[in-house]
Amino acid sequence: MNRRYRKTIIAGNWKMNKTPAEAKALIEEMKPLLSKTKWCEMVLCVPFTDIQAAVKAAKGSKIAIGAENMHFEKSGAFTGEISADMLKELGVKYVIIGHPSAVSTSTRPTSLRQEGSGRSRERSAPDPVRRRVSDRARAGRYHGSYPQADQDRSAERAVEDIKKVVIAYEPIWAIGTGKTATTEQANEVCSAIRDCLREKYGARAARGITIQYGGSMNAKNASELLAQPDVDGGLIGGASLKSADFATIVEAANQ
């Protein structure tokens, strides 16, 4: 973490867990445990069906509610999809884009390709798929402040856009497996991502972007991972479903 330049964000990713009533109960349980956070921002990304209950339950606390996916179009004939406007109206502040386990086929293949391919997932994902992930990300960034499509984008605007993005590095073999990257691996990749951002958007923008590590981060290993200079937070799956574990991770991020 480097709090001088960027936000520390701990985000839970509940995936397909919890009904609205269960979501309410878990957030009520978490609220007192998370009330003393100092600089760490907390987000809970919950299933679409839980959003309303979660926003209501989190009211008055420092927990922001996020969604787990979103479509890139503003509206249209996309069965089962959810738009940025729909999420925003419910009080959603963040959305995960391109998670390997997202159900939609347009975001999923980033994870489908890797097994046994011997090549990196990003490279093996077919172009249309990668484009869709970036379309969704762009829709998220544009939403609100930049509602138009990306015509006439100046370099300056591109930099302003990227500053709204939080990046999560998640080695696929670490997601939900209990196997975590070593602190060195996590920092090395987060730092390499920052180098790419620096090249594309300049040193100032790159220095300010939050880059999280995700993949079996838990109450035991969080301190060590978060102590790395380029790891600015965590995207937490399993451990975000247990209030005490999530609170311990947030506490580690406040050190």
Chain residues in the site for ligand PGA (CB under 6 A): 13, 170, 175-176, 214-217, 235-239
Closest distance to ligand PGA from the beta carbon of 183 (Å): 16
Closest distance to ligand PGA from the beta carbon of 99 (Å): 6
Closest distance to ligand PGA from the beta carbon of 80 (Å): 21
Residue nearest to ligand PGA (CB): 237
3-state SS string for the chain: CCCCCCCEEEEEECCCCCCHHHHHHHHHHHHHHHCCCCCEEEEEEECHHHHHHHHHHHCCCCEEEEECCCCCCCCCCCCCCCCHHHHHHCCCCEECCCCCCCCCCCCCHHHHCCCCCCCCHHHHCCHHHHHHHHHHHHHHHHCCCCCCCCCCCCHHHHHHHHCCCCEEECCHHHCCCCCCCCHHHHHHHHHHHHHHHHHHHCHHHHHHCCEEEECCCCCCCHHHHHCCCCCCEEEECHHHHCHHHHHHHHHHHCC
- Pick from 88, 98, 208: which is nearest to 145 by CA? 88
Q: Which is nearer to ligand PGA, 13 or 243 (CB)?
A: 13
Q: Which is nearer to ligand PGA, 57 or 236 (CB)?
A: 236
Closest distance to ligand PGA from the beta carbon of 101 (Å): 6
Q: Which is nearer to ligand PGA, 206 or 218 (CB)?
A: 218
What does the block give as tokens for 30?
Answer: 């978490």
Q: Which is nearer to ligand PGA, 126 or 176 (CB)?
A: 176
User: Which amino acid type is present at position 237?
Assistant: G
Closest distance to ligand PGA from the beta carbon of 177 (Å): 7
Q: Which is nearer to ligand PGA, 92 or 236 (CB)?
A: 236
Enumerate the active-site residues.
99, 170
